[in-house]
Structure 1
């Protein structure tokens, strides 16, 4: 315990001293993050190399402990060898982030560096544990690599608000440290204590208004280290359930990753392209100032830390109710943020909506098939007339193959609210009108596209004129008339 306190204090002091030195040095060389009018709204250029003092302080504190600690107290620490072997992997992550901060890397280049570091860390022993499953390495190795890459990018993505990424990392590190002390895992405690001291000191300069940013060299490194700590933390359980507590501790950044990827996929946007839809942006959109938003998300991290510790010490018997309660809180929080994509997905995937979408898709496919199967102008007109009636148009006129057809569905169609001409081939077209009180149908655009596309490629023989007068609401011009007959076309109830 004395070694844990000592290494925490040393790391805190080193970071408190080195951070302003690094800040002023990089400010002098103009290696800064400049504001823009898109996603960076800080007032003046700010250095973004906060990872340098954190890594220097962490390595310095750990090195001093190994040099001056008594041999019988610190050399045989549990998992210490593992953490020392992970330093090369952590170094790869740090260098990748630092190069990106200075020269700007492409997303694929950053991902390559992260993947190399993750594979190296897993090969050195940082992996999930599934002792109860034979040949579990075929499962745990890829899952561990994905976990490390996910944690690395998760902390990086939430680094969009002064003090947020470092504060969230602080809570996750504190949670891991408390779990390590409670389970007697001295090695894990020794590894996390200096990071806790570094983040606490760094917040002195990073909280709103920040004078230095973490940068990718800081956020990527912190996320990677927390991912490694989580894998070691989970090994005490020996099953996949051991990941429940670390997952809860990192809920906020990991949830932001899931939401970001999900939102961009739903909108068909590039996954690696930034936007203003992250969790901290949504909290700001609720009307909170930046420092208040950061404090709110600190509170969320504190609640997540409480559940993580509860899950870690509760045992299998109570783990289920804890996970369910935690998931309910997450769902409430997501709904409170007001994501349009989430509400749209929820409505779309509802049982009633799924059946409605299925019904509409069947209708559209039947409509397209029936037009393609029509052999005469009259058959095509019947289908067009039926479809336009379903879509609540006031009237429709069709000019095609030398014939003119018209159907009136509303009495006030002579004074329409709007009118549209739709070309259907070289010399054919539809004239559609809608009344002011006409109820638009959600499939209108799809129906019109199918009508235009299907009629465009059809060829008809000239229709034969019929002398008998038309009946109902269908009228024909151009010297030819055709009688109204029952429409053999698919139907859809307007909802």
Structure 2
């Protein structure tokens, strides 16, 4: 117990005293994050290298404890072996983040180095396994899951670092939750690993909470996310039930959900997955009219709810652990819906209200129409293909005028309107659209593109594979292909 208190106090004091020094040094040297508007909502230039103070507090606390051990302290070396073996991986992650803060780094090299650090952690004994290593502990399963989890956590805490104190405070909640789980499990190696991180985050939060005078930076957010990802695996390795394995997911729910939503949103909008936007959870809360401080406190509350559910779910003797997981998922879903993500609402409507089937059928109909029209080798064949395609899509009729020929289907007298698709100098296609035929509205523009690409792109007087307009002295010969039979007429 004294060792735990020692680690907490030393890391807290070191971070508390070191942070303003780091802030002032980098501010004097002009190494700051300047406000540019958009996603950056701060109003003055602020250093973004807070990870230095956190890492320093963490290392100094462990170093002091080890020195006490060598002089007769009560700490047992065997409880620290897992922590020591993680330091190379954590050091690599910190170095990647610091270099990105100071010089900038492209996404793919960063991901490569993050996976390398995750590989070092796996080699050091941090491995995702099933219940106490039984069942799913084979390397071909454990390696990719472990690497994905660690890299995902690393970037998740980086993405929520968008407003003052958010990533630091959420990281503190997650660290304290992991610490409590270690005490409940009797996992003292996990306790010793998390205590100095909690102390360092608490000391740094004094300067990072709104209004912040220093930011975490990538060096801080990467390190926090990576270490918590490692500690979450160590937590789950001691879980006695399947529900216990899901406890770290609930403890880290805020950053994990925010990152998952960002990936889904950008995928649905066909935007770069690694791009930046103003669609994160904290941005949505700010758009609702909340102040920065209130938005952060709301997310602190959400992190606290997740922490409580995680601790309840990790208790092997709790008969309501499954119910807690279900309630947590329900609350998370309601919270996401209340944020008003248009992309998610539209996607759920497509999936659950029949719109997905309509879109799928429309795409299939367009593909079928393109194949029919591209295979046509005469005006007559094109008309047959056009009429069949219009009927399949739900249009009530059509008319084709091309190269002096006209084809028209019987159109009933129900209310409706014509849609004209010009084909350049060759002619035009008209499509009869009846009122109330909602399913055909979404097909008009893409069907017009199909018509133009299969007929309108060819020069005047040409049909695919057949030249029908030639110059012959003083006379002009015109060939009209009707029903596959060439008819030649001279002017």
Aligning the two structures, in what range does the TM-score lie when normalised by the shorter sequence? 0.7 to 0.9
Aligned to 2:480: 462
What is aligned with 1:233?
235
Secondary structure at the counterpart of residue 86 of structure 1: helix
Which residue number corresponds to residue 73 of structure 1? 74
Tell me which of 356, 359, 362 is aligned to 1:357: 359
- In structure 2, do the counterparts of structure 1 residues 117 and 372 end up closer, same or farther at CA, with 3 Å as the change threshold? closer
Deviates further, 229-238 or 142-151: 229-238
Greater Cα shift, 16-25 or 234-243: 234-243
The residue aligned with 2:85 is: 85
Q: Which residue of 2 aligns with 1:477?
A: none
Partners of 2:206 and 2:78 in 1: CA distance: 31
Q: What per-residue deviation string (whole Å, max 9, x for no partner) do you get for residues 362-387 of structure 1?
A: 43344334434556535544654676
Correspondence for 1:486: none
In structure 1, list runs of 5 or more residues that go unmatched.
466-495
**Cα deviation, residue 2, structure 1:** 2.3
Query: 1:412 Cα shift?
Result: 9.4
Q: Which residue of 1 aligns with 2:428?
A: 429
Give the 3-state SS of the residue equivalent to 2:400 in structure 1.
strand
Distance change (3 Å), C-alpha of 1:305 and 1:447: same
Counterpart Cα distance in 1 of 2:128 and 2:385: 61
Aligned to 1:252: 254
Distance (Å, rounded) in 2 between the aligned partners of 1:328 and 1:367: 44
Q: Does 2:25 align with 1:40?
A: no
- In the TM superposition, 1:431-446 aligns within 5 A as 441-446=441-446
Contact 2:182 2:191 in 1 (8 A): yes
Specify which of 187, 194, 205 is matched with residue 203 of structure 1. Answer: 205
> CA-to-partner distance for each residue in 1:183-239, whole Å, 9 max, x for gaps?
222222122111111111111111111110000000000111111111111121267
Secondary structure at 1:44's aligned position in 2? coil
**Corresponding residue of 2:62:** 62
* Distance of aligned partners of 1:276 and 1:235 in 2 relative to their CA distance in 1, 3 Å threshold: same
Aligned-pair CA distance for 1:340? 1.5
Report the CA distance shift for 1:71/1:340 in structure 2 as closer, same or farther (over 3 A). Answer: farther
| Structure 2 unmatched ranges of 5 or more | 467-478, 484-491
Alignment partners' CA distance in 2, 1:88 and 1:463? 76
Contact 1:19-1:50 within 8 A present in 2 as well: yes
Could you list the per-position Cα deviations for residues 279-322 of structure 1 after superposition, in whole angstroms to 9, with x for gaps in the alignment? 11112122211111101000000000000100111448544322
TM-score using structure 1 length? 0.84
Could you say which residue in structure 1 is the equivalent of 2:125?
125
Shift of 1:406: 6.0
Shift, 1:463, TM fit:
6.5
Deviations 1:327-384 (A, max 9, x none): 1111111111111221122122226233323432343344334434556535544654
- When the two structures are aligned, how many residues end up with a matched partner? 460
Find 2:301's aligned residue among 291, 299, 302: 299
Question: Residue 128 of structure 1: CA displacement?
Answer: 2.0
Contact 1:19 1:53 in 2 (8 A): yes
TM-score (normalised: structure 2): 0.85
Match of 1:276 in 2: 278
Over residues 17-76 of structure 1, what are the superposed CA-to-partner deviations in whole Å (9 max), with x where a residue is unaligned? 111111011000011111113321211110000001111111111211221257462124
Shift of the alpha carbon at 1:107?
0.8
Aligned equivalents of 1:32, 1:206: Cα separation in 2:
15
CA pair 135-126 structure 1, distance change in 2 beyond 3 A? closer
2:447 paired with 1:447: yes
